[in-house]
Amino acid sequence: MGRGLAILNWSLIGFWIMAIISVCSAVLMIANRNPVRSALFLVLGFMMQALLYLSMSAQFIAAVQIIVYAGAIMVLFLFVIMLLNIGSPEALRERGGLQAPAAIVLAIVFLLLLAGVGALGGSQINHLMNPSVIPNYGTVDAIGKTIFDPSKPWLFPFEATSILLLIGVVGAITLAKRRL
Amino acid sequence: MPAVPTSYYLGLSGVLFTIGMIGVLIKRNPIVIFMCIELMLNAVNLSFIASGRHFGHMAGQMMVIFVMAIAAAEVAIGLGIIVAIFRTKETINIDEINLLKY
């Protein structure tokens, strides 16, 4: 694949569009004072991530991402914002001080660390450039057959997750009901 | 059609994780801090799926399913805690919720 044709690589163009939109929505989410707008930018980011999952042939995960994150978790966030009535922009005044510059410095250090790890693993990443393609990858069929296969280690975590969700339901009701 | 290299997805995942980390460090509103934690979990999910696609292994997508289930439980509990704190203290400013410090 020549350098000239790489410019017209549509999957790469799509990736860059989705990446820029998701990074911009993440930045706008933490730059906004109004939590409702933050939640809506977070929804945009979740949608973009679902599209990225689709581009990596993870169809089932993309659908679950939309249903669970953009649907259920976002409704929960907006409901609590409405319940506590903190939607007005002046409700929480962010104080100045050293916190924001320190956070930026720490974030830059963290990004440099990540880039260093990437550079150290560069020899592996270079041959990682061609993802392997297997048929039926990421379909409901493949995921169901993997998760319920007794010879694979996913069956027990699946059952444990159901108990965890039950504990979550009981805990949420207990917290909401009793006065602390 | 040539696919996007795995390293691009990993880089995007690192950038999103860092943005979420900045948000956790500088925001005062615990609900927005929760949103930032969700963003960080999503960034990790992205790298899981990218690695899973790269090696042609289903383990990446399995991990993402479990992370999503645990994130849903965590948000339900966390928002319940925030509502309970708001009922007792009438504020949710994270700087004024410092009872555990003493």
Encode chain B (102 residues) as per-residue pLDDT tens digits: 457 888 889 899 999 999 999 999 888 888 899 999 999 999 999 999 998 888 888 888 999 999 999 999 999 899 888 888 888 877 777 777 777 777
The predicted structure's pLDDT at residue A88: 58
> How many domains does chain A divide into?
2
Residue B79 has its nearest CB partner, among A35, A53, A76, at: A76
Q: Which amino acid is at A129?
A: M
For B5, nearest residue in chain A (alpha carbons)? A129
Q: Is residue A177 a part of any domain in this protein?
A: yes
Q: Specify the higher pLDDT residue, A43 or B4.
A: A43
pLDDT reading at A43 higher than 90: yes
A35/B58 touch (CB, cutoff 8 Å), yes or no: no
Q: Which domain holds residue A161?
A: 148-180
- Tens-digit pLDDT profile for residues A85-137: 765 555 555 566 788 888 899 999 999 998 888 888 765 655 555 555 667 78
State the CATH number of the domain containing residue A38: 1.20.120.1200
As a whole number, mean pLDDT of residues A43-61 equals 92
The predicted structure's pLDDT at residue A6: 52
Q: Is residue A135 a part of any domain in this protein?
A: no
A16 plus A85 within the same structural domain: yes
Please check whether residue B56 is in contact with residue A132, taking contact to mean a CB–CB distance below 8 angstroms: yes
Q: Which amino acid is at A126?
A: N
pLDDT reading at A14 higher than 60: yes
Task: Write out chain A residues lying below 8 Å of B71, CB-based.
Answer: 68-69, 73
In this prediction, residue A1 has a pLDDT band, given cuts at 50, 70 and 90, of: very low
Give the domains, in start order, of chain B with CATH numbers: 6-89 (1.10.287.3510)
3-state SS, chain A, equals: CCHHHHCCCHHHHHHHHHHHHHHHHHHHHHHCCCHHHHHHHHHHHHHHHHHHHHHCCCHHHHHHHHHHHHHHHHHHHHHHHHHHCCCCCCCCCCCCCCHHHHHHHHHHHHHHHHHHHHHHCHHHHHHCCCCCCCCCCCCHHHHHHHHCCCCCCCHHHHHHHHHHHHHHHHHHHHHHHCCC
A73/B70 touch (CB, cutoff 8 Å), yes or no: no
The predicted structure's pLDDT at residue A41: 94
- Tens-digit pLDDT profile for residues A124-137: 655 555 555 667 78
CA of A131, closest CA in chain B: separation in Å? Answer: 4
A65/B68 touch (CB, cutoff 8 Å), yes or no: yes
Residue where one domain finishes, among candidates A44, A64, A89:
A89
B19/A61 touch (CB, cutoff 8 Å), yes or no: no
Residue where one domain finishes, among candidates A89, A113, A131:
A89
The predicted structure's pLDDT at residue A93: 59
